[in-house]
Amino acid sequence: MKTESDFPIARMRKRLLAWYDAEGRSLPWRIRPEDREAGRTPDSYAVWLSEIMLQQTTVPHATPYWYKFLERWPRVENLAAADEDEVFAAWAGLGYYARARNLLACARAVSAAGGTFPSGEKALLALPGIGPYTAAAIRAAAFDLPASVVDGNVERVITRICAMPDPVKTAKPVIKRVAAALADPDRPGDYAQAIMDLGATVCTPRSPDCAACPWQSECAAHAQGRPEAFPVKPARTAKPHRRAVGFAVFRGDRIWLRKRPPKGLLGGMLEVPSTEWRTRDWDMDEARAAAPLQAEWEEMAVIAHVFTHFSLEMRLWRAEAAGGWEPETGGWYAVREIGELALPSVMKKAVLAAV
């Protein structure tokens, strides 16, 4: 395995930056060298917004949301003043909904402090939803300050040029050390974006384009003729499978939805009420006892959804609310407005299956 002492670091920096100048991606929140020459400067709010959206999300999927948020809330103060349900509804479809809660909390914290994002690592880490990677990315991209940015793309590049024999989870300290040694102190923002672009467009998970790579001659995985063997994959473990019964209660063309608890999975989002999500199946009698009201329930569909750490199978029951029955929590929503609500994907599936 190679380590940082085995690399011609100055030459590698120069090659990567030359490649980035010619081949790096143009992204709407990014300031490239030619943009600086034209007098453009980074917008820390736009950079922060992009970094939060890009956590666990691809650039093509996140970009339309980024435009939508900036159009609706062009400044951090506008976002800070937004209603939580509005923000959740705009976020719906991006997944990992804790990010939406933290996004709003962070906007409010920055707005309360004067509306300017801090550039210091400690101050950034003190803000909701900003961890070491996001803080480093903001410092580099928004403020052009020295920072070693290590995301999944960078981890893949580093494990390949070093031919690291351990899975990423085990190798993280070494990956961070090598990445920090390679980071360019003179063009930190460009370098951070260059190495992420290298992983995203050249050193891809499958079929990496080694012929186009500026680091090909230094790459241990390429020398071994097996770049796709890295990062080494950990032993697979089966995801737990959970089961539930969902209750779609209608009154004419309106459906009853309630808000989930503010913390935890899908926190603060709207949901179709359901039983507990458990590993054992629910029999008919158990499900009826757990139903929010006594009604003539009709089984409509089985909803399958995969979360990060488990899969869910929800049997969906439908009923019409009788007479004057009213829920203690939540409210009635027009089915035609479902697309405008803060409904996570699994719940949107459930509503559409029940209609």
Catalytic residue numbers read 51
| CB environment 281-300: b (16+ within 10 A), e (fewer) | ebeeeebeeebbeebebeeb
User: With contact defined as beta carbons under 8 Å apart, do 287 and 245 qualify?
Assistant: yes
Helix (H, G, I), strand (E, B) or coil at 177: helix
Backbone φ and ψ for 318, nearest 5 degrees, come out as -125, 145
> Does an H or E element contain 9, and which?
helix 9-23
What are the angstrom distances between the C-alpha of 353 and each of 251, 253, 280, 327? 16, 14, 23, 22
268 contacts: CB under 8 Å, gap ≥ 6: 84, 88, 97, 100, 101, 259, 260, 261, 262, 342
Identify the CA nearest to 246 among candidates 343, 347, 352, 344.
347
| C-alpha 134, offset from chain centre | 12
On whether the CB atoms of residues 314 and 241 are closer than 8 A, the answer is no
